[in-house]
Amino acid sequence: MNAQRIAAVIPVKNFSEAKQRLQPVLSCKERRRLARMMFQDVLNVLVECRRLAAVYVVTSDPDAARLAGTLGAAVLPDPIVGGLSGAIAHAAQALKAQGVDGMLVMPADVPNIDVAAVERLLDAHAPPRAVTLVGAARDGGTNALLCSPPDVIPNCFGHNSFRAHCQLAASSGIEPNVVSLPGLHYDIDRPLDLLSFLNVPSRTRTYDYLTGSRIARRLQDTAAFPSAATILSGAMPGAVSTSFQKG
């Protein structure tokens, strides 16, 4: 078992600015609520994982900061400059200054995360110098990045960051450890991601919100998704609209 002190970091955008790529199918209020639910799902799991030394939330959103404090997570102010990568670099330096041995960066939009997945990441990690990561299924991004020490490589989150992180590790003399964790391969960033997420019912706040608010049913009925009936029929039997069935 990994005996080093590893802390988790969740970078969180202002909820009011989150998930702009979902604008074609969700209102501003719905996107804000969805971002909050996903963050709560991720935060709850990381706080519950006893093998993590601490959980930090990097944000400038007062609501996210309050939620973090309620569950015992520490809050680091978002430096704003440098965007997501700047926020994570800021966290890496803060953790290193506090004597933390490793940093696990977890996005706030992977609601299917569970404690078992976090522990598998920790088990696969081999400090003192190591990079362990999980790739995103669709856009070449990185859905989990575990680094020892926290600043062992610069981070470059975003499109195609998975390959870039692997290359940065290799150029630093570290063989990147790639872990396959189905619950972490899929983040919710685009309309199709919503449909894929809804295809598998889960005990998450995110799933409850999407189904309870009737967003799931609305997505199924919209002409913007000709494949929605096929994707959602597994999650909502009997709810496929006639228009889609006629295809």
pLDDT tens for 155-192 read 998 788 999 999 999 999 999 999 999 889 889 999 98
36 and 146 co-located in one domain: yes
User: Residue 215: which domain range?
Assistant: 191-246
Write the burial class of residue 217 (CB in 10 Å: 0-12 exposed, 13-18 middle, 19+ buried). middle
Based on the domain organization, do 138 and 223 belong to the same domain? Answer: no
Per residue in 6-42, pLDDT (tens digit) is 999 999 999 999 999 999 999 999 999 999 999 999 9
Same domain (yes/no): 162, 217: no
Tally of domains within the chain = 2
For residues 127 and 93, membership in a common domain is answered with: yes
Residue 212's alpha-carbon distances to 91, 141, 163, 217, in angstroms, are 35, 30, 37, 10
Residues 56 and 28 in one domain: yes
Has residue 1 been placed in a domain? no
Residues in contact with 112: Cβ distance below 8 Å, sequence separation at least 6, in sequence order: 183, 184, 186, 197, 200, 202, 204
Nearest Cα to Cα of residue 47 among 95, 99, 39: 39
Co-location of 42 and 129 in the same domain: yes
Q: Say yes or no: 172 and 97 in one domain.
A: yes
63 & 139 share domain? yes
Sequence-distant (≥ 6) Cβ neighbours of residue 33 within 8 angstroms: 209, 213
Chain Cα centroid distance, residue 34: 13
